[in-house]
Amino acid sequence: MGNCMDGIRNSCDRQKNTNIKSSLPAVCFVWQLSMIILFGVFVRYNVESDTHWVEHKKKDNITSDIENDFYFRYPSFQDVHVMIFVGFGFLMTFLKRYSFGAVGFNFLVAAFGIQWALLMQGWFHSLDYNDGKIKIGIENLINADFCVAGCLIAYGALLGKVSPVQLLVMTLFGVTLFAVEEYIILNILHAKDAGGSMVIHTFGAYYGLSISWVLYRPDLDKSKHLNGSVYHSDVFAMIGTLFLWMFWPSFNSAIADHGDGQHRAAINTYLALASTVLTTVAMSSLFEKTGKLDMVHIQNSTLAGGVAVGTAAEFMLSPYGSLIVGFFCGIISTLGYIFFSPFLEEKLKIQDTCGIHNLHAMPGVLGGIVGAISAAAATKTVYGDEGLVNTFDFKGSFANRVPTIQGGYQAAGLCVALCFGIGGGILVGLVLKLPIWGDPADENCYDDEIYWEVPEDEEILEHNTDTSL
Amino acid sequence: MGNCMDGIRNSCDRQKNTNIKSSLPAVCFVWQLSMIILFGVFVRYNVESDTHWVEHKKKDNITSDIENDFYFRYPSFQDVHVMIFVGFGFLMTFLKRYSFGAVGFNFLVAAFGIQWALLMQGWFHSLDYNDGKIKIGIENLINADFCVAGCLIAYGALLGKVSPVQLLVMTLFGVTLFAVEEYIILNILHAKDAGGSMVIHTFGAYYGLSISWVLYRPDLDKSKHLNGSVYHSDVFAMIGTLFLWMFWPSFNSAIADHGDGQHRAAINTYLALASTVLTTVAMSSLFEKTGKLDMVHIQNSTLAGGVAVGTAAEFMLSPYGSLIVGFFCGIISTLGYIFFSPFLEEKLKIQDTCGIHNLHAMPGVLGGIVGAISAAAATKTVYGDEGLVNTFDFKGSFANRVPTIQGGYQAAGLCVALCFGIGGGILVGLVLKLPIWGDPADENCYDDEIYWEVPEDEEILEHNTDTSL
Amino acid sequence: MGNCMDGIRNSCDRQKNTNIKSSLPAVCFVWQLSMIILFGVFVRYNVESDTHWVEHKKKDNITSDIENDFYFRYPSFQDVHVMIFVGFGFLMTFLKRYSFGAVGFNFLVAAFGIQWALLMQGWFHSLDYNDGKIKIGIENLINADFCVAGCLIAYGALLGKVSPVQLLVMTLFGVTLFAVEEYIILNILHAKDAGGSMVIHTFGAYYGLSISWVLYRPDLDKSKHLNGSVYHSDVFAMIGTLFLWMFWPSFNSAIADHGDGQHRAAINTYLALASTVLTTVAMSSLFEKTGKLDMVHIQNSTLAGGVAVGTAAEFMLSPYGSLIVGFFCGIISTLGYIFFSPFLEEKLKIQDTCGIHNLHAMPGVLGGIVGAISAAAATKTVYGDEGLVNTFDFKGSFANRVPTIQGGYQAAGLCVALCFGIGGGILVGLVLKLPIWGDPADENCYDDEIYWEVPEDEEILEHNTDTSL
């Protein structure tokens, strides 16, 4: 084993310098210090998380602490938090020798990203113009987690082929692009996107795919033997799958309107996801020789319904509408893994480790379309007079907007997400192509040995042999 | 390895056709399409998840969105959801080569079952007679998860010995039987069963055991070498155990009365489960040669207290009462694994893979009895005048019922659960005995190779050997 | 394998008797029976979990069930529960052959400890002087979980070197000491410690380290080959890490003041933990040869920020203040693993299996200091008149206290925690040194074989070899 590791180390020294001893600590320290300074200048508690809440309550005749937004959103926030760190992290542990990188770099990227997101989103959405400070509360924490989800989706395309420094750079730019894109879609276009089909999934997926396209590795076959799973790594990945699947109703309802908005978003997501599982299993079985199931599909395509119902989750999509969305997503996503992923790699030169095109890109676009159609089809009969205004926020400068127009703006929002994803991804991909980031050689991709101290698993077998003598 | 797989495939071709390439996709598609049509005809949002909530609030003088049932039950719902998908799923991953089937088929069964349960339970409990529609909200989602729990318990007895198609058929009938049984127990008999000791656990366990009895395999020893755990599969199973154990207070309190009902149910369950752990450890140690602990007991019997306190959880069982229930459950359940399971297999011809008789059947019956006794013993001194009426719902046509009579109806409820479980299980078992469902041959039981594309774990060792040269 | 196990058994018989067949069941039964009796005498539901709640509501003009404390704290409670059982349990599964002991004994210790804690803390905090009963509700359950956390931290130092009976004795005394220490700090000194930097982490860590010091094993090198991880055991440990990390905001906010208190505690913890991840990664990379990351640091030091922000989490620490706390904790904790742990073992003769000195002791003390400083620096300008009184509870007999004095009492609280931890640990260590507890011989440390029936992992490989012929 000693020889083996020396062998790998020598061979990679010959070709690529993956030593990140100076770059990784430097980047982490500089960025964390910058965060502290920027937070010191800009970020304060909002009225509901500040000790002045007690006075605010009296002034506004709020009779109970339970009216604090914390109690409306905290349970959903914690579920979203689990999706970001355990869900995304463990979903990517399926590779036989990249589980440390999957769960560890996911952790690093998310922890950095949420801080930067609080600032970027704060400037756009939570700036108090009286004192120039960003005022944060529980909703900001949820939005920061959402923002980071976009970058973690992108990581799925790059898994195993980039260095942690590249991931941090990708996240810095990704969060920035996200905040601008989100501002355009939600505030300028006034599109609705509670679960982020467009803002999070479409953007994140095309951002990652575009970067992967720029970073195309023609000789990636050299590490083909590591681009696969072992039995227990597939079980680990199911932890990620299930926590994503179970908590997705919280994801889509976390920042929806208080009351019926959150309630309905949870129901719609629950139903869409249930439907997706059945069609995923059906398609997976249909395209294998003896009807066996493929873990790749079960781990990923079962989640597509949650992506696709994101935008419309708080609309009156109706229960059967949610089932229909889930139905098609399971089919499309599984077909994507079977037919489209190989095509993407061979013809379009996009190497997509986790198949985010099938899990996030296609279902995200579908979700944007479903959102546009269901917004355009909204009527006062179905929503009620007040319900329509509340659901689509036809207030203030948008008081005159009608559903059909709203549908158009929803569609425009989808285009913005696509443009930011593809355009941003290409630009950031070019930055990441610079030969300074310590990325692995082709034969060392998908291998934790490069960036982690990996324990020697053989020892235990040897020991057993020893003691049994 | 190639030879090995071919070998398995040939041998199973000779004896049993486990090809489910046509049946599994067909069943999934037909059922999912049926769900869409039935949901389209029957299912709508209820008043709290509909956009008309805003008008409803005004009409009913509800001052705050926080009064929406969503905020009373959503945290418990998500915990229950985790129990269903991660809890049940991972608890069954203990087998060395059936973890995919455990967690994957659990996923499939539950995703189908919750849809069918929303319909079946909806017709009985949530039908709006004005428009003939089922109106769903968060409580329906919880009840659907509960309903599916019955079928997942049954799966525990069948684990490794049935095909996914059989599981889906078992679920279709199981959910149907459950909904009828639940209606009789809760509505006609007006028995209380917040945590489902009778409705869920007793029914589910005897349903599964009866099916297993009908499907008895005399030559199951042929796959004996796979009916056991390896080190890491036992650790995976502990994920299931712990999430079930931790979230059981949410399970038993999820649909209890707002306020003190939910509060008390959580406390009682917390205490019963804590007590069970100590007596399980004690019994496990007592019956092994040198006092060693057996993982099977720790994984399963520690949960028996949650089952047994289900019915009485919302009653004034009192904290020490909960501890006593847990105390005996740990003992009974562990003794069941040590003495009763072998007896069950050898004498009664019931092969119970996960030992659901010890975890669900006996504790479930015990829970029904505890519920009947504590209901019969309820007094106005302990409960208060209003408290007694509230807790047992002595209202409307049940306004004249007194605790002693209620105790009798509780006992009757337990009998109904037993009858439906045993009777239903035998009938469904006969259906599943038909030679059309693609079940595995005796020598292929407990083996993921039959229904899953399984990665070849040796490769990594070979690779290490290669590179170390 | 048969030979191997016999070999181990013989060798340990020669040296140490690890047979716990009489002691473990005896201790479990006696203690559980005592719990039942004591609960029967002392413990009742409090007004919010009793059926009299309905009358209480009317009397106090409470308009809605949602005002029940259950709805303020239950989501946080469940998160804390996950931290105790899955978080602590899985964090310790990193050893290659002690995962059963890690997760299983953690389970046993916690299940016993929470019952004893309900009594001990109840006598000090929830005793109703009218009837001499302890009245429990959701806050008591959270506090019991907190109390047990102290003992589980101590277990981290002892992991693999003690018997389950020793752990139970350690817990019995630990919970008792905790309750007294907590009463002195929170009630007599009136120090604030929402997240327990002092009460839980400082106490627990020094308690465990002192016990470990008394139980020093000079020949522990004999089991050195088992004191390390394998690839998948490190992935299992990340489950523990992440659930601790994600739910720490709930831990620090669970018993904070309703409204802004809980809200602010969650935000501060979220930020401190994010910051810690970046500096942990930076330091880990900086001190390894080629900048590789060490899983030990990622698993543990990333959590230090949550520990250190515990006391001050509900104060107006401000967002950048939280980031600064996290920044230094990641550095200190990682340096602790690299430099201080070896020093501790070689010079101070403290064998600290999980490095709790780096994760809990140093950050806990730091947290106490941060708490004292930020309390002393509190002003009416920042907090508001009412906010200051609310946050520090300057009411009743403490109405005259001012922030600077409060700072002094906070510091005194830290000293009390240290004294109880070190003093109590030495005394309990001496008790545990008695040769009656069945602890393992030096060569059998870190080995599940001693206390668990361990499955034989080789079988599966043998089987594969057989069938491939």
Which of C229, C235, C289 minimises the CB distance to A103? C235
Across residues B126-142, what is the average pLDDT? 96
What tokens were used for A434?
Answer: 């610079």
Which of B4, B302, B387 minimises the CB distance to C467? B4
Which of A20, A36, A40 minimises the CB distance to C285? A20
Per-residue pLDDT tens digits for A295-323: 999 999 999 999 999 999 999 999 999 99
Which pLDDT value is given to residue B2?
38
Which pLDDT value is given to residue B12?
42
Confidence at B26, pLDDT banded by 50, 70, 90: very high
Quick check: A117 and A180 in contact, CB under 8 A?
no
In sequence order, what are the residues at sequence separation of 6 or more whose Cβ sits closer than 8 angstroms to the Cβ of residue C82? B243, B246, C243, C247
- d(CA C33, nearest CA chain B) in Å: 8
- d(CA A425, nearest CA chain B) in Å: 33
Confidence at A283, pLDDT banded by 50, 70, 90: very high
- d(CA C313, nearest CA chain A) in Å: 12
What tokens were used for A13?
Answer: 């020294």
Per-residue pLDDT tens digits for C181-195: 999 999 999 999 999
- d(CA B208, nearest CA chain C) in Å: 27
Which pLDDT value is given to residue A458?
54
Quick check: B214 and B429 in contact, CB under 8 A?
yes
Classify residue B427 by burial, with Cβ atoms within 10 Å: 0-12, 13-18, 19+. Answer: middle
Per-residue pLDDT tens digits for B399-432: 999 999 999 999 999 999 999 999 999 999 999 9
Q: Does A2 touch chain C (CB under 8 A)?
A: no
Q: Percentage of chain B surpassing pLDDT 90?
A: 90
Confidence at C177, pLDDT banded by 50, 70, 90: very high
Across residues B78-86, what is the average pLDDT? 97
Which of B264, B276, B285 minimises the CB distance to C25? B285
Per-residue pLDDT tens digits for C426-452: 999 999 999 889 899 999 999 999 999
Strand order in the sheet with A133-136: A43-45, A133-136, A127-128
Question: Which residues in chain B have Cβ-Cβ distances shorter than 8 Å to C22?
Answer: 291
Which pLDDT value is given to residue C18?
82
Residue B1, SS3 per DSSP: coil
Quick check: C122 and C140 in contact, CB under 8 A?
yes
Confidence at C357, pLDDT banded by 50, 70, 90: very high
The yes-or-no verdict on residue C9 having pLDDT over 60 is no
Q: Does A8 touch chain B (CB under 8 A)?
A: yes
Which pLDDT value is given to residue B158?
97
Across residues B447-461, what is the average pLDDT? 79
Which pLDDT value is given to residue A459?
44
User: Distance of CA A209 to CAs A362, B36, C56, Å?
Assistant: 12, 34, 60
Per-residue pLDDT tens digits for C407-430: 999 999 999 999 999 999 999 999
A136 forms beta bridges with A45
The yes-or-no verdict on residue A461 having pLDDT over 80 is no
Q: Does B451 touch chain A (CB under 8 A)?
A: yes
Mean per-residue pLDDT of chain C:
93
Which pLDDT value is given to residue A15?
60
Alpha helices in C340-402 (DSSP H): 341-346, 356, 362-376, 380-383, 385-392
**Contact: C258, A66; criterion CB under 8 Å:** yes
- d(CA A150, nearest CA chain B) in Å: 24
* Strands (DSSP E) found in C412-466: none
Per-residue pLDDT tens digits for B249-288: 999 999 999 999 999 999 999 999 999 999 999 999 999 8
Tell the CATH topology of C21-455: Ammonium transporter fold (1.10.3430)
Domain boundaries, chain A: 23-453
**Contact: C164, B281; criterion CB under 8 Å:** yes
**Contact: A136, C319; criterion CB under 8 Å:** yes
Q: Does C467 touch chain B (CB under 8 A)?
A: yes
Strand order in the sheet with C43-45: C43-45, C133-136, C127-128
**Contact: C25, B291; criterion CB under 8 Å:** yes
Per-residue pLDDT tens digits for A151-178: 999 999 999 999 999 999 999 999 999 9
In CATH, the number for domain B18-455 is 1.10.3430.10
Which of A282, A320, A383 minimises the CB distance to B25? A282
Which pLDDT value is given to residue C17?
82
**Contact: C31, B278; criterion CB under 8 Å:** yes
**Contact: A288, B44; criterion CB under 8 Å:** no
Q: Does B222 touch chain C (CB under 8 A)?
A: no
In sequence order, what are the residues at sequence separation of 6 or more whose Cβ sits closer than 8 angstroms to the Cβ of residue A194? A252, A253, A255, A256, A261, A265, A310, A311, A313, A314
**Contact: C1, A468; criterion CB under 8 Å:** yes
Across residues B310-316, what is the average pLDDT? 96
Among chain B residues, CA nearest to C85: B242
Among chain B residues, CA nearest to C40: B320
Residue C54, amino acid: V
Q: Long-range CB contacts (< 8 A, 24+ apart) of B67-70?
A: B67/C64, B67/C66, B68/A258, B68/A259, B68/A260, B68/A263, B69/A263, B69/B137, B69/B138, B69/B139, B70/A259, B70/A262, B70/A263, B70/A266, B70/B137, B70/B138
Give, to the nearest 10 degrees, the angle between helix B164-182 and helix B23-42: 30
Across residues C121-133, what is the average pLDDT? 95
Which pLDDT value is given to residue C458?
54
Mutate to test the interface with A, among B6, B49, B172 (most CBs of A within 10 A): B49
The yes-or-no verdict on residue C84 having pLDDT over 50 is yes
Can you tell me the distance from the alpha carbon of B387 to that of B393, in angstroms, rounded to the nearest whole number?
Answer: 9
Which pLDDT value is given to residue C15?
60
Q: Does C104 touch chain B (CB under 8 A)?
A: yes
Q: Does C271 touch chain A (CB under 8 A)?
A: yes
Q: Tokens 């997509």 label which residue?
A: A352
Quick check: C134 and C119 in contact, CB under 8 A?
yes
What tokens were used for C165?
Answer: 């009976």
**Contact: B1, C74; criterion CB under 8 Å:** no
Which of B273, B278, B320 minimises the CB distance to C39? B320
**Contact: A71, C72; criterion CB under 8 Å:** yes
The yes-or-no verdict on residue A12 having pLDDT over 80 is no
Q: Tokens 């770059």 label which residue?
A: A23
Q: Does A82 touch chain C (CB under 8 A)?
A: yes
The yes-or-no verdict on residue B6 having pLDDT over 50 is no
Among chain C residues, CA nearest to A163: C292
**Contact: C29, B226; criterion CB under 8 Å:** no
- d(CA C44, nearest CA chain B) in Å: 6
**Contact: B20, A264; criterion CB under 8 Å:** no
CB contacts < 8 A, A to B, total 247
Which pLDDT value is given to residue A158?
97
Which pLDDT value is given to residue B457?
74
Classify residue B105 by burial, with Cβ atoms within 10 Å: 0-12, 13-18, 19+. Answer: buried
Across residues A78-106, what is the average pLDDT? 97
Which pLDDT value is given to residue C21?
85
Give which of C314, C330, C337, C329 is closest to C268, Cα–Cα.
C314
Question: Which residues in chain B have Cβ-Cβ distances shorter than 8 Å to A388?
Answer: 51
Question: Which residues in chain B have Cβ-Cβ distances shorter than 8 Å to C66?
Answer: 66-67, 71-72, 258
- d(CA B137, nearest CA chain C) in Å: 18
Mean per-residue pLDDT of chain A:
92
Q: Does A324 touch chain B (CB under 8 A)?
A: yes
Which of C54, C453, C463 minimises the CB distance to B292? C453
A232 or B16: which carries more pLDDT confidence? A232
Mutate to test the interface with C, among B71, B95, B238, B462 (most CBs of C within 10 A): B238
- d(CA B89, nearest CA chain A) in Å: 10
Question: Which residues in chain A have Cβ-Cβ distances shorter than 8 Å to B226?
Answer: none
Per-residue pLDDT tens digits for C91-123: 999 999 999 999 999 999 999 999 999 999 999
Question: Which residues in chain A have Cβ-Cβ distances shorter than 8 Å to C285?
Answer: 20-21, 24-25, 28
Confidence at B458, pLDDT banded by 50, 70, 90: low
Across residues B442-460, what is the average pLDDT? 85
What spatial distance separates the first Cα and last Cα of chain B, rounded to whole Å? 22
As assigned by CATH, the class of the A23-453 domain is mainly alpha
Among chain B residues, CA nearest to C48: B260
